[in-house]
Amino acid sequence: MGKKKNHKMFIFTAPSGSGKTTVVRHLLNKYNFLDFSVSATSREKRPHEVEGKDYYFLSEEEFRTKIDEGAFLEWEEVYDNQFYGTLKSEVDRVWEAGKHMVFDIEVNGATNLKKMYGDQALAVFIKVPSFMELVKRLKSRKTESPSSLKKRIKRIKRELTYEESFDTVLINDKLEVTLQEAENIVCQFIGMRKESAE
């Protein structure tokens, strides 16, 4: 895992349902100088998700083996028996391809990565205008069972208190505005004029 200074990281973090996936997918489609840090997880694959693109889907046992092998840069048991982690090999893969890395990661992992990479990383907290709106969006995504939704809502309350720990807060109210602002944040951090990045 190199630390060459021209390689950057964009760490998008927020409680579940805030819009991380939406923002990150937009940026990856728009800018080919970015690539996604594909995390490993032991949670079940959602129907539309693709192995190796959205996540590397592992069994809990496979995940624990990788922890023992020291394969992770960071990992968290985000929900009971549901593990998520960044493989060290992802940083090599993306940086060796000459791209800047984009993360979609919960708040503890984001804090750890920011500590590890300092000024090379920009940590962006995505914020939905209200708790009620956030819960509404999470429900409208229709990906969670009632018990999974309950676990996520419980965690949201704690994660919302992390806002001030990150470099920038991106308010996700009107989506078009959010996406424009996300583009501005990326271009500014790598010192590129937005017009020349397109």
DSSP 8-70: -EEEEE-STTSSHHHHHHHHHHH-TTEEE--EEE-SPPPTT--BTTTEEE--HHHHHHHHHHT
127 binds ligand 5GP (CB under 6 A): no
20 binds ligand 5GP (CB under 6 A): yes
Token pair 């996520």: residue: 152
CB of 130 to ligand 5GP, least distance (A): 19
86, 111, 172, 178: residue in contact with ligand 5GP (rule CB under 6 A): 86
- Write the binding mask 50 to 79 for ligand 5GP: x where contact by CB under 6 A, - elsewhere: ------------------------x-x-x-
Partner in contact with 78, chosen from ligand ADP, ligand 5GP, none, beta carbon below 5 to 8 Å by kind: ligand 5GP
Q: Which two tokens stand for residue 119?
A: 């000024």
Whose Cβ is closer to ligand 5GP: residue 35's or residue 104's?
Answer: 104
Partner in contact with 76, chosen from ligand 5GP, ligand ADP, none, beta carbon below 5 to 8 Å by kind: ligand 5GP
In the complex, which residues of this chain contact ligand ADP (CB under 6 A)?
14, 16-22, 137, 140-141, 172, 175, 178
Instruction: Give every CB contact of residue 69 below 8 A, 6+ residues apart in sequence.
Output: none
CA angle 21, 1, 30 (to 5 degrees): 30
* Closest CA relative to residue 113, chosen from 91, 81, 94: 91
> Containing H/E element for 125?
strand 121-127
170 binds ligand 5GP (CB under 6 A): no
Contact between residue 23 and residue 88 where contact means Cβ atoms under 8 Å apart: no
Partner in contact with 111, chosen from ligand ADP, ligand 5GP, none, beta carbon below 5 to 8 Å by kind: none
SS3 (DSSP) at 129: coil
19 binds ligand 5GP (CB under 6 A): no
Whose Cβ is closer to ligand ADP: residue 66's or residue 104's?
Answer: 104
- Tell me which residues touch ligand 5GP (CB under 6 A): 16, 20, 39, 43, 74, 76, 78, 84-86, 104-106, 108-109
